[in-house]
Structure 1
Amino acid sequence: MLTHMKIITAVGLMSIAGSVFAVPTPIDLNTFQQEGPLGNGNWVVSGDGNSVLQTINGNPTAFVSPGNFFNTQFQGSFSAANDGDDDYMGFVFGFDANDTTPFFLFDWKQGQQSGSAPGFYLSEVSGGLNAIPFGNHHLDATGYDVLATNLGTGWVDNVIYDFTLEYTASLIKIDISGGSFGTGTNIFNYATSGNTTGRFGFYNFSQSQVAYQGFTETVAPTFCELNPTDPQCTGAQVPVPVPLSLIGLGLGLLGLSRRIKR
């Protein structure tokens, strides 16, 4: 019986591990396409489709997947070479057929300029790429709604950063590692609702020589995959607190019973 139980336990642990640590699928960047005015960007994909370099310092440009993703975790690396500029690089997701419908934007500025501080910005864009403001990037504008900011730290030239995005119906979770972020720092853990399927891609604004490489996608882990011992995942019943009034009633009846016996 003990051996049988050990086998069952081992199979269960393998099942959990198989769900949480699903094998990531490499993303072929040869399938991506540029969005926004063509003159705003120049996206040069490597022959093996593993990396892309954006070479134009211009207005907002995006390079986006052909298909939609949802309940997905993306991972990959990005960096900017020293071109003498200090502006925005980042990612778009929840992106529809083009930029005329709302999508999410995560971008990172290196230096202080025109009222925009160095650091991270999470926003929802409904007015197209051209609605994204360069200055006062932390303030809402027509077609541009700021959801959250994490300001104070800009990116550093020639440092390779690892990026993780978890995008589900109710969560946008973004982590960065590398450089001053060490083995990993949570940048945003933004709870939301009503997120929908959409395309995923890269974004630059007034920043050239930005490289993205080694991106993969996998199914985002569920709550129970991340918390397998939680009562709602194991089927165990959670004790319901007894109201104080019932406790008092019980003590009163106990005292009455003792008096009657005497």
Structure 2
Amino acid sequence: MLVFPNAKINIGLNIVEKRSDGFHNIESCFYPVGWSDALEIVRSEKFAFQSDGITIPGDFSNNLCTKAYQMLAADYTFPAVNIHLLKAVPIGAGLGGGSSDAAFTIKALNDLFLLNISLEKQLDYARRLGSDCAFFIENKPLYCYEKGDKFEEISLTLAGKWIVLVNPGLHISTVEAYSGVKPRQSETDLRELLKLPLSDWKSAVKNDFEESLFPKFPVLQQIKNELYKTGAAYAAMSGSGSTLYGIFQEEKDLSAHFKECKIWQGLLK
């Protein structure tokens, strides 16, 4: 079975408070985008995990795909598999690439072996692997809160808009990103702000990480400025960085503007 775990962006990201378990409560809209890895899962005599493309740090036993397999194998009986991941979505880039790989592993195993795992149980498995893994189970625009693992439906659609994602190659760890933020309650409900016209988001919809990370990594501010200069209706950093994105009303080719960066361009659905 071959699937294509896609990335997501954060549209707005408020860091509301630090939790007693060390995590933070957030408010954000997660929106799927087309930048994807490729994940192949086939029956095998014994379990194996392999990866190509972008180098994944750490031992394969700690990879989220491996953990997803082991978690389901502990509760269900099905054959061993060989998992082959072609990694294309940058790591530590605020795009949820690793979380998507894990969630798509759960969904693929469920489909491949007809395990009939309910949606709620798939969400529960995904939450055990990471805060934003569960989003990729349904993989549609959602308002996310608490650790980013609780969801509400949102009527937002950007279908037909053009998005450009720009990654300068910086790896910003979650710990580093959160160390610079000061949690605070939001003055205005993000869900209400996202009802504004796209052209009004620039002054209203914020990512709290930008305030501390832009001075530390000036290239991030430079990329955001360039996205606006080239006509973006809205531009922001995704997650805790380091990817910036611009949303455009019409198709743009910005390859020449970000020659030193990884870039993905395409339509939103």
Q: Same fold (TM over 0.5)?
A: no
Bigger Rg, structure 1 or 2: 1
Shorter-chain TM-score range: under 0.3
More strand, by proportion: 1
TM, length-normalised to structure 2: 0.23
More helix, by proportion: 2
TM, length-normalised to structure 1: 0.24
